[in-house]
Amino acid sequence: MSNKKVMVTGGAGFIGSHLVDAMINNGYEVVIVDNLSTGFKKNINPKAKFFKMDICDKKLTDVFRMERPQIVCHHAAQTVVTRSMSDPVFDAKQNILGSINVLLNCTESNVSKLIYASSGGAVYGEPQYRPVDENHPINPLSPYGISKHVVEHYLQLYGTELGLDYVVLRYANVYGSRQNPKAEAGVVAIFAMQMLGGKQPVIYGSGDKTRDYVHVSDVVAANLLALNKGRQAIYNIGTGIETSDQQMFDTLAHLLRYKGHPQYAPVRKGEISRISLECKNAQSVLGWQPRFSLKDGLAQAINYYRDLC
């Protein structure tokens, strides 16, 4: 068990709240910073200390000085590709300027390590080969992908010049309980709730667009390992398996006994057509590998969404 203090930005959100729970269960003292723009109070672990605050707020410095976290897990972000396309200024403010504010406070408060949630589904752009490893060229197709990658450069700079230890985790498409089915992203949550409600899900494109789906519990496990392993490095966190939108629809329809058919709409700007992530580095250095098969992960997620109906 550990008595270290960890700050989780975005700790009331989908991934962040699961991470907070796991850290508390592993003996960490946890501080949450979240503005609740996309997170929910119901997700907040009562054993964590909560500050309702935007990461862009200058008062974040007061929280750092008061709490003195030893480790920061930075998950607060604008995460919707389509919103980044329509409002790139907002995306840059939240994801770049907000992250710089976090980094400045980390260095001032002598934080020993920062774990940054990046996007393996957006920073690479359209893959030149699959599965994509960490050496693949970076060519994002959306402001969201750009903003997530820009912060990686800041981390490298702060690591080289100021000695900040960090680990970047480039997530594939994360799914599982607490993912918001009313948001614009998160196809598993959206499809499941629409099917349970007797509505017709929308597939953007012909259905052959693929994603690499990784369960939130596996993402949390990677974060826990990165607390003590990896130094100034970047790791993909995914399964290496492509699943098409049509396959996801068909699988969920089978599990939920949904008899309807999807609607098909034009492909949205900024979205890549295919992706899967190579995760050998995470396995060799962090000792991480995904445990949840898509079948088991979807079954768990479906039970959660059934309970919401």
Q: What is the CATH number of the domain that holds 35?
A: 3.40.50.720
Percent of the chain predicted with pLDDT > 90: 95
102/139 Cα distance (integer angstroms): 25
| Closest residue by Cα to residue 97 from 154, 12, 14 | 154
Report the pLDDT averaged over residues 283-296: 97
Percent of the chain predicted with pLDDT > 70: 99
Q: Are residues 119 and 171 in the same domain?
A: yes
Q: Are residues 143 and 195 in the same domain?
A: no
Give the burial string for 150-176 (b: 16+ CB within 10 Å, else e): bbbebbeebbeeeebbbbbbbbbbbbb
Q: Are residues 119 and 247 in the same domain?
A: no
Report the pLDDT averaged over residues 26-37: 98
Per-residue confidence (pLDDT) for residue 182, from 0 to 100:
85
Per-residue confidence (pLDDT) for residue 2, from 0 to 100:
59
Q: Does 1 have pLDDT greater than 80?
A: no
Q: Are residues 126 and 191 in the same domain?
A: no
Q: Taking all residues of the chain, what is their mean pLDDT, rounded to a whole number?
A: 96
Q: Does 202 have pLDDT greater than 60?
A: yes
Which pLDDT band holds residue 266 (cuts at 50, 70, 90)?
A: very high
Which pLDDT band holds residue 3 (cuts at 50, 70, 90)?
A: confident
For residue 46, give Cα distances in angstroms to 22, 24, 49, 50, 206: 13, 10, 8, 9, 44
Express each pLDDT in 206-237 by its tens digit.
999 999 999 999 999 999 999 999 999 999 99
Per-residue confidence (pLDDT) for residue 184, from 0 to 100:
75
How do beta strands 71-74 and 210-211 pair?
unpaired
Cβ proximity of 277 and 118 under 8 Å = no
Tell me the residue length of the chain: 309
Question: Rounded to the nearest 10 degrees, how much is the dihedral formed by the CA atoms of 264, 265, 271, 276?
Answer: 0
Q: Are residues 88 and 162 in the same domain?
A: yes
262 is a domain residue: yes
For residue 47, give Cα distances in angstroms to 115, 260, 290, 304: 21, 43, 28, 23
Model pTM score:
0.97
Express each pLDDT in 106-119 by its tens digit.
999 999 999 999 99
Q: Are residues 122 and 257 in the same domain?
A: no
Catalytic residue positions, numbered: 144
216/211 Cα distance (integer angstroms): 15
67 is a domain residue: yes
The secondary structure of residue 132, as a DSSP letter, is B
181 is a domain residue: no
Q: Are residues 132 and 56 in the same domain?
A: yes
108/159 Cα distance (integer angstroms): 14
Residue 267: which CATH number? 3.90.25.10
32 is a domain residue: yes
Q: Are residues 153 and 254 in the same domain?
A: no
Q: Are residues 247 and 228 in the same domain?
A: no
Helix (H) or strand (E) holding 150: helix 143-162
Which pLDDT band holds residue 129 (cuts at 50, 70, 90)?
A: very high
Contacts (Cβ under 8 Å, ≥6 apart) of 67: 5, 7, 31, 49
Report the pLDDT averaged over residues 237-262: 97
Cβ proximity of 20 and 32 under 8 Å = yes
Per-residue confidence (pLDDT) for residue 23, from 0 to 100:
98
Number of domains in the chain: 2
73/80 Cα distance (integer angstroms): 20
Q: Does 94 have pLDDT greater than 80?
A: yes
Q: Are residues 20 and 147 in the same domain?
A: yes
Expressed as residue numbers, the domain containing 203 is: 187-209+242-273+301-308
182 is a domain residue: no
Contacts (Cβ under 8 Å, ≥6 apart) of 293: none
Q: Are residues 77 and 10 in the same domain?
A: yes
Angle at 51 between CA 93 and CA 63, to 5 degrees: 80
Higher-pLDDT residue of 183, 263: 263
Angle at 300 between CA 296 and CA 306, to 5 degrees: 140
Q: Are residues 193 and 230 in the same domain?
A: no
